[in-house]
Amino acid sequence: MFLGEVIGHVVATKKDESMTGQKLLIVRPKLVDEAKPSQFRDGVNTIVAVDTVGAGEGDLVMFCQGSSARQAGNLKKIPVDAAVVAIVDSVDVLGKKVYGKSSS
């Protein structure tokens, strides 16, 4: 599993019939910065992932890829390679808070 920030969404009106009704999010992976382990740095790629938990833009999420993605929700028979499986509340690395969801 990986951490990432939801930075957008995808709308596709023409798609595989099994994908009908699936919410698609654009996720940018977040990595612990080796130079400053108490903060994240952005990954270099973006991923389109099926949302199984109701995430939205700006959320820090946990996502999985490959065959593991099809274990989430009812995705077993759907051609997906990435799925958002959790919305993250907080992350601590080496005893320091790297991320904490604001209560707004």
Sign of CA dihedral 37, 41, 47, 50: positive
Domain spans of the chain, in order of start = 2-99
- Select from 2.60.120.260, 3.40.50.300, 2.40.50.220, 3.30.420.110 the CATH code of 2-99: 2.40.50.220
pTM for the model: 0.90
Counting residues of the chain whose pLDDT is more than 70, the rounded percentage is: 98
* 47-76 per-position pLDDT tens digit: 999 999 999 999 999 999 988 888 887 788
